[in-house]
Amino acid sequence: AGGGKALPEYAAWKDADAMIVHSANTIELRREAFGHSTITPSERLYVRNNLNPPPADIVKDPDVWSLEVAGVAKPGSLTVADLKRLGLTAVTMVLQCSGNGRAWFPHKPSGTQWTVGAAGCVVFAGVPVRDVVAALGGVAGGMKYMTGTGGEALPEGVDPNMVRVERSVPLEAMEDAILAWELNGAALPLAHGGPLRLIVPGYMGVNNIKYIRRLAFTEAQSPAKIQQSSYRFYPVGEKGSDKYPSIWEMPVNSWLTSPYEPGKPLSAGRMLLSGVALGGFHALKGVEVSIDGGQTWQSAEWFGPDMGRYAWRSFAMSVDLKPGKYRIATRATNDQGETQPKERRENNRGYNNNSWLDHSVELEVV
């Protein structure tokens, strides 16, 4: 992988040449390694852990993993084997870290300097949360949030709320949520939250709780720091708190993925510019491409499968480029009429970057 850090053991099966290893818990897909098949192979799916992952033996026999469910009429514990009897569904969706695109924020927010590769489009399979809730008599009265708790062992001597990975999303998100044990047709690997993960399609990565131990329907949002003050959208220089919006729904976005090879000019002539576009929380409507830094735009064509509201779509546009330098930008719009802005929306932690200018690339043609 050209001198980068080595893959950590729990993710040693990743495609090393396709990844940028920022740290043992933050691994990004290279822009030039997205491919054209719409689905991101598991070997190329980014990894982000807020805490070190649990020991690998938890995925040896996924069926025995148990989940506690609270805030329902009949609270209780269910194993993955039990869950497999309750219902089945699958969703193709974009999994994307809230900090994807952080590298372009000029105030240099702390955190991983992701560009485009903290995202992938993958298939998760499992049981609809709705079916689990129905089997347990329904959500208890007055509950406003769905709260998932990660299964990591917590360091001793610290307030659990300071470190615990526990996130709440609005109760409505339950409708499309899944408790998943499969990724892209194989058992969910530890790196992506096996044996069991809460999947909340259309919501930013952090809300998809890995190795989930507890699913609770709650009146209030989790008291954990990761809910109360982290993963909030607030002004540069301020302190995060619950008065600011939580990082929940994903915004519309897109970026060019090929042809692109850092430092390698392209030969002049006809070529296809291609990339991926996502509607975010809503379905996609269209995507445009500009070869002059956003002065003029042309609609691109979709290619490949349309895998629904939560998936991304591949697009391409044919161009004939003479020698020169071109700033290639892409701009997606969703079915709510939301279009990527030119400028990023500044915020202290560098979340939700969907600026088309930041995501643009310069191509040199010779």
Decide: is 146 part of the binding site for ligand MSS (CB under 6 A).
Answer: no
Give the nearer residue to ligand MSS in terms of CB position, either 48 or 313: 48
Q: Which stretch binds ligand MSS (CB under 6 A): 1-9, 78-86, 198-206, 252-260?
A: 198-206
* Interface pick for ligand MSS out of 48, 102, 130, 313 (rule CB under 6 A): 48
Q: Is 116 exposed, middle or buried (0-12, 13-18, 19+ CB in 10 A)?
A: buried
* Interface pick for ligand MSS out of 71, 128, 150, 251 (rule CB under 6 A): 150
Q: Which stretch binds ligand MSS (CB under 6 A): 207-215, 216-224, 252-260, 317-325?
A: 207-215
Q: Which stretch binds ligand MSS (CB under 6 A): 49-57, 79-87, 217-225, 273-281?
A: 49-57
Give the nearer residue to ligand MSS in terms of CB position, either 49 or 115: 49
Alpha carbons 301 and 270: distance in angstroms, whole number: 16
Give the nearer residue to ligand MSS in terms of CB position, either 211 or 326: 211
* Interface pick for ligand MSS out of 62, 109, 205, 280 (rule CB under 6 A): 205
* Interface pick for ligand MSS out of 40, 42, 49, 218 (rule CB under 6 A): 49
CA dihedral 249, 253, 257, 263 (to 10 degrees): -110
> Interior CA angle at 342 toward 315 and 204, to 5°?
65
What is the token pair recorded at 16? 């090393």
* Interface pick for ligand MSS out of 102, 192, 214, 344 (rule CB under 6 A): 192
Decide: is 103 part of the binding site for ligand MSS (CB under 6 A).
Answer: no
Number of chain residues interacting with ligand MSS (CB under 6 A):
23
Q: Which residues bind ligand MSS (CB under 6 A)?
A: 45-51, 95, 97-99, 150, 152, 165, 192-193, 204-206, 208-211
